[in-house]
């Protein structure tokens, strides 16, 4: 018995296994890094801003000392790598739309989250690390807000870029089912 032919223009749901595995891991890592940045935007920085300046500075210094770890690295470094590998795999499987979506996801993440982290947030974190917590509460509050306001703005940018990357990766998964 033969399988009936699909009408012209119907999606071909025979997704190549390698592309589907890479796509799933890409989506997972992109979602993890989006969630990481999102949590800072909607809770961590709000909580620190609600604290006194000395406590906020000390807490952020502590966070920054431990954030680069084996649990964080796969999402931060792996997401763009896997997105690019998935784009290449989809292209080799003749899924040009999916390939373009995963390439867009990689570009959005690299330009809007990865590079700002290196060129803005990390230098700000290093400057904060070298700051001795001011003894006077007014001084500490000024120092904290001088750090927090621009750091948070750039984190919102990283969050938005990671969200765009996540949306593009999700679209790429949908497009893997279409031969185009």
- For the chain, which residues make up each domain, given as ranges? 17-176
Alpha-carbon distance of 120 to 125, in angstroms, equals 9
pLDDT tens column, 57-96: 999 999 999 999 999 999 999 999 999 999 999 999 999 9
Alpha-carbon distance of 33 to 137, in angstroms, equals 34
**Count H helices, E strands: the chain?**
8, 0
Per-residue pLDDT averaged across 91-103, rounded? Answer: 95
Per-residue pLDDT averaged across 24-51, rounded? Answer: 97
pTM above 0.95, yes or no: no
Alpha-carbon distance of 15 to 89, in angstroms, equals 11
% of residues, the chain, pLDDT over 90: 81
Q: Is the pLDDT of residue 180 over 70?
A: no
pLDDT tens column, 143-165: 999 999 999 999 999 999 999 99
What pLDDT is attached to residue 161?
A: 98
User: What is the number of other CB atoms lying within 10 angstroms of the CB of residue 87?
Assistant: 27
């Amino acid at each position: 018995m033969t399988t009936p032919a699909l009408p012209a223009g119907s999606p071909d749901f025979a997704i190549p296994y390698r592309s589907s595995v890479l796509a799933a891991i890409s989506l997972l890592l992109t979602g993890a890094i989006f969630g990481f940045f999102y949590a800072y935007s909607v809770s961590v920085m709000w909580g620190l801003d609600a604290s006194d300046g000395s406590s906020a500075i000390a807490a952020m210094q502590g966070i920054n000392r431990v954030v680069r770890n084996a649990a964080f690295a796969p999402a931060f470094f792996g997401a763009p790598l896997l997105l690019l590998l998935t784009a290449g795999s989809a292209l080799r499987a003749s899924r040009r739309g999916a390939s373009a979506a995963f390439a867009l996801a990689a570009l959005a993440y690299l330009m809007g989250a990865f590079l700002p982290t290196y060129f803005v947030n990390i230098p700000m974190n290093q400057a904060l690390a070298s700051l001795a917590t001011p003894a006077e509460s007014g001084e500490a509050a000024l120092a904290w807000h001088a750090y927090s306001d621009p750091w948070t703005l750039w984190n919102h940018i990283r969050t938005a870029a990671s969200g765009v990357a996540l949306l593009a990766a999700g679209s790429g998964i949908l497009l893997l089912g279409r031969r185009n």
